[in-house]
Amino acid sequence: MTTYTAYFRSDAEFATKSFVAKTPEKALRKARDFLEKHGDQLDFEPYDHGGMAVDEIEIRTDDAHELAVWHGEDLRLRLAARDLLKALQDQTELAQKVVDHWATGDLATAVRALDATIPKTRAAIARATDDEP
């Protein structure tokens, strides 16, 4: 078993705690469980001042190499915002082409272009909503 250090971060504070586990992912699970059940026992140090929700838990090696990470819902949305906006812009533009081509009867080209954007759109949505490491 290995001892991993979990870094609990919010926008304003951070705390660290060590966990013994077989893998970084299991250490991350232990850290998330600890936060849920005993989060009040963490000794947060302010970057600045004030208390906020934990946005990130990271498991690192002693030399600061990231092994596993969890992001809270708000941070996941912030990190995915550009991809989501781009996907929405692309889908909107292509949906307009479908509408424009409706009158001429040439929907196939517009629909194929719209269909091609779906994988990137789904990837952006997954990035914004995936809460498992």
Q: Is 90 exceeded by the pLDDT of residue 15?
A: yes
Q: What percent of the chain has pLDDT over 90?
A: 40
Supply the angle between the helices 107-129 and 73-102 in degrees, to the nearest 10.
Answer: 170
106 with 64, same domain? no
The verdict on 60 and 88 lying in the same domain is: no
Say how many domains are in the chain: 2
Supply the DSSP string of 63-131, one letter for each residue.
Answer: T--EEEEEE-HHHHHHHHHHHHHHHHHHHHHHHHHHHHHHTTT-HHHHHHHHHHHHHHHHHHHHHHH--
Q: Are residues 7 and 63 in the same domain?
A: yes
Claim to verify: residue 43 and residue 83 sit in the same structural domain: no
**pLDDT at residue 50, rounded to an integer:** 56
Specify the pLDDT at position 4. Answer: 94
| Boundary-marking domain end, from 22, 43, 71 | 71
Q: Are residues 9 and 65 in the same domain?
A: yes
- Write down the pLDDT at residue 132: 43
Considering the domain architecture, whether residues 101 and 116 belong to the same structural domain is answered as yes
pLDDT tops 90 at residue 103: no
The answer to whether the CB of 52 falls within 8 A of the CB of 6 is no
Choose between 64 and 5: higher pLDDT: 5
Residue 42 and residue 92 in one domain: no
Domain range for 123 is 74-129
CA atoms within 13 A on the CB side of 115: 6
Residue that is last in its domain, among 71, 95, 113: 71
Q: What residues contact residue 37 under an 8 Å CB cut-off, 6+ apart? A: none
